[in-house]
Chains A and B, each alone.
Chain A
């Protein structure tokens, strides 16, 4: 057991055949073994993979789950999304901090436990929640936080923190999580009985073009939120020239307030993988990649096992289900903490062992995707829909929903409501109806579509959840009368500043400036003209940003400026002397007064 660092790195790199495109996996493995990636290891990885050290450093510094600095054997990541904040995150944070005797971003003096914040971990229905290494702890209180720390100090084993298991497969021996599914409303599409293998069998008995036609006939649109017609995406990819093609499943569910893929992966993994296999058959791919966010690492072993069983049962591998010449396999690619990787081209970059920078389009992934080959990227739920469409026929799918938004949709409802959880509803449903189901009739505002979505005011609760009206990848966050709209918006802006990849100017700088201006307004240091300026800056960021992140990050500000304008107007006032309200002389002298040890004669006279 005296393997040198060099031996470790060599062993890991050769287990990935020295393949540069597997840099994420290599770094992950080194990280798992060393607790971080020491700088000498970067050099060694670079040597083994035939790249330069700075490229390794570039990747590590991009993902928030990787670090080149030693950290605790146990890392506590407390989720700081808005819903967790509303359910008492501050008290939990204080308890963790006090009990550990360290602040956030720090490691205990004995080097065993680190404490930090992390954005939405997909547990908004059971927050406050935290990740302790891979282990999810939910419904935290200050008491349970203290107990957790006391226990960890004894054994440093996060898995022993789980005292009771969640429902459904959360109790599976390969998951063993305290997470609950919170399925509140089962529709007859996604949460119907699974006939394992039937959909795939039906697909393999018709031609790939017929499979695509079925998906098109069903009028299936992407469930991630953008709503691109799935059949069309497949058709383009099938038609594109390429020696190989790839199917990717986007399980990087990072949009704050979304947790429906978590439940699908827990309860319907076979349906997800069947959908990928059907997609592979349809477009002519032999390999699929499930991109699983690191926050869901607790599901990895379980999912690997499902894949293994499918291989054993002939549902994956050579000549799938006896279909001569159709070979298909699936591997799981772990993410490492980057919201932007939910953007399909960033996801592809990440799978290629690169920073999660989005790519320039065109070319679109359908033409040139993973490693330059035609690639489709579909959401977890979309692929589940595919399986059902093939199993039950297109008509059973689009008999629900609307003409342009066919089928049902999973909603993840959280926040100020009595029954947070998963609801399968037909698209086109009125928001008010959804709120009624969740016990959220008193809502004063609802954020539809996650941080990048829009804030809806009560007079618009009669709007419809569908691609052409209120579009959402699933996230519905409810806010009651006790909430401060500007604080909510500020939390979203914090998130975007943190998660911007920094590639393009408007998103990197613009979001920072938007947040700063918003803060000034919240401090009462704004004037009416600032609202116009804020709006203008939002438009520049939206218009000029390179990918969906920056193109949507101003939405919370824009939609609240529109629908909750009085909230802003109450915070600003006309400055008559021509002074800038953003500048506060007293504040700007505070440091000086402290250092010099006297008060200003100007401010205090």
Chain B
């Protein structure tokens, strides 16, 4: 029997949730015995090789590339899990939601105290994904099956949830593992 497949992505966030995933310490060996990793920064596979059982998303959506990526995850993954406050609430990047986008960009490229921009132009290269009007939590873009909050979610939370998901059990976390910070 083939091992279940996992894919992970880090969208608009800090990669801290992936660090937390690595924080499961020696259980990571157990994890590799249980599953195969597909598209993920952990194994550096860039594109999906096929359908995946569990997709794990860190970070919210701040630009068009995040949306594309997240939608692809939704299409490829049977179960999709938002991990961390950025994915579940927009998180720190969504602090910009209270400031008009134009002002954010002006501050970043023209007015900020450390900006050096002799051309006086707004970068417009197609390699730079366009920003969305605001930062969205993942479940406002695609349907999400499970949310694991935290900044980052503790390694134990991620481990407990993964084990439950891989053994087809409901994800029911104890009180001490649901934390928003």
- Check A595/B122 contact, CB under 8 A, given A578-B75, A589-B130, A590-B133: yes
Residues of B within 8 A of A590 (CB): 133
| Contact in complex: A578, B67 (CB < 8 Å) | no
Of the four ranges (under 10, 10 to 19, 20 to 34, 35 or more), the interface on chain B belongs to 20 to 34
Residues of A within 8 A of B139 (CB): 580
Residues of B within 8 A of A583 (CB): 67, 136, 140-141
Report the Cα distance A588→B136, complex, angstroms. Answer: 10
| Contact in complex: B130, A600 (CB < 8 Å) | yes
Interface SS, A side? helix
Interface string of A555-582 (1 = CB under 8 A from B): 0000000000000000000000111101
Residues of B within 8 A of A578 (CB): 74-75, 80, 142-143
Residues of A within 8 A of B131 (CB): 592
Nearest chain A residue, comparing its CB with the CB of B64: A602
B44 at the interface (CB under 8 A from A): no
| Contact in complex: B130, A579 (CB < 8 Å) | no
Within 8 A of A (CB), among B97-131: 101-102, 105, 122-124, 126, 129-131
| Contact in complex: B140, A580 (CB < 8 Å) | yes
B132 at the interface (CB under 8 A from A): yes
Report the Cα distance A578→B138, complex, angstroms. Answer: 12
Nearest chain B residue, comparing its CB with the CB of A594: B102
Nearest chain B residue, comparing its CB with the CB of A599: B130
Residues of B within 8 A of A193 (CB): none
Residues of B within 8 A of A580 (CB): 139-143
Interface string of B18-48 (1 = CB under 8 A from A): 0000000000000000000000000000000
Residues of A within 8 A of B141 (CB): 579-580, 583
Report the Cα distance A577→B141, complex, angstroms. Answer: 11
Residues of A within 8 A of B71 (CB): 577, 579
Task: Give the number of chain A interface residues (Cβ < 8 Å).
Answer: 22
| Contact in complex: B132, A592 (CB < 8 Å) | yes
Chain A proximity of B174: nearest CB distance (Å): 27
Residues of A within 8 A of B133 (CB): 587-592
| Contact in complex: B142, A602 (CB < 8 Å) | no
| Contact in complex: B64, A603 (CB < 8 Å) | yes
A154 at the interface (CB under 8 A from B): no
Report the Cα distance A439→B37, complex, angstroms. Answer: 71
| Contact in complex: A579, B132 (CB < 8 Å) | no
| Contact in complex: B126, A588 (CB < 8 Å) | no
Chain A proximity of B47: nearest CB distance (Å): 16
- Check A602/B65 contact, CB under 8 A, given A577-B71, A580-B140: yes
| Contact in complex: B143, A596 (CB < 8 Å) | no
Chain A proximity of B54: nearest CB distance (Å): 14
| Contact in complex: A582, B140 (CB < 8 Å) | yes
13 chain-A/chain-B pairs, Cβ below 8 angstroms: A577-B75, A578-B75, A579-B71, A580-B143, A582-B140, A583-B67, A589-B130, A590-B133, A595-B122, A596-B130, A598-B126, A602-B65, A602-B67
Interface residues of A (CB under 8 A from B): 577-580, 582-583, 585, 587-593, 595-598, 600-603
A580-B140, A593-B130, A602-B67 are known; give 14 further A-B pairs, CB within 8 A. Answer: A578-B80, A579-B143, A580-B143, A583-B136, A588-B133, A588-B136, A589-B64, A592-B131, A592-B133, A596-B123, A596-B130, A597-B124, A598-B126, A600-B130
